[in-house]
Amino acid sequence: MNAQSKTDRGYPRVISLPDKSTATLRLMTPADADALLTFARALPEDDLLFLRSDITDPAVVDQWVQNVVAGRTVTVLVETRGELAGYASLHFTDVTWQRHVGEIRIQVGSRYRSMGLGRRMAEEVFGVAREAGLRKITAQMTPDQKGAIATFERLGFQPEALMQDFVMDRSGRTRDLMIMAHDVDGLSDRVN
């Protein structure tokens, strides 16, 4: 199964942003590898500290592409002003007893923050999750990622676990890991 078969949300689709500009939402394809590398390499160092994998590494992006092609990941890209502004990914698991759970990962480029893109990307991924039959979405972050926590709380996520010294940043410093979750069905009144 490929990523395209997991969703039918009418991509590509143009959306309006609060500043009266527009953005295009579309599904990631293998042809996006170079654009993703360019996007990742332009992220502030602080953002890179908290990524689950080093998406500035071409081999990591190649694995991401393979996961998209295999249907293990659906990634919605957002483009505005002629460039990649961010992405939202939904990661499926092969673990049988967690087949109803997906993990969401969102990244918005620093120039495109405070425009509502993070929230819009989360809504897109929730729509993909519902179409794929998932029942629960999780998000992982460190407790000092206050902006991410606030965004997910506004979407109805609740903290489910705090794991001490569970992640290590790029500098080798350990940090706590917060896992937040939300039931997909509970979002039916918020997501179009």
Mean per-residue pLDDT, 148-176: 88
What's residue 184's pLDDT?
80
Torsion from C-alpha of 168, 174, 176, 180, nearest 10 degrees? -10
CATH number reported for the structural domain that contains residue 75 in this entry: 3.40.630.30
Give the list of residues 6+ apart from residue 186 with CB closer than 8 angstroms, or none: 156
Least confident of 2-11, 51-60, 71-80, 127-136: 2-11
Q: So what's the pLDDT on residue 86?
A: 95
Residue 181 lies in a domain: no
Is residue 112 situated within a structural domain?
yes
CA–centroid distance for 49 within its chain: 16
Tokens of 154: 């506004």
The domain containing residue 8 runs over which residues? 3-139
Q: How many domains does the chain have?
A: 1
pLDDT given for residue 57 in this prediction: 92
CA dihedral sign, ordered 122, 128, 134, 135: positive
Confirm whether 146 is domain-assigned: no
pTM: 0.85
- What percentage of the chain reaches a pLDDT higher than 70? 92
- Is position 162 within any domain? no
80 domain residue, yes or no: yes
Kindly state whether residue 96 falls inside one of the protein's structural domains.
yes
pLDDT band for position 154 (50/70/90)?
confident
Give a yes or no: residue 104 inside a domain: yes
Backbone torsions φ then ψ of 85, nearest 5 degrees: -105, -20
Instruction: Please check whether residue 165 lies inside any domain of the structure.
Output: no
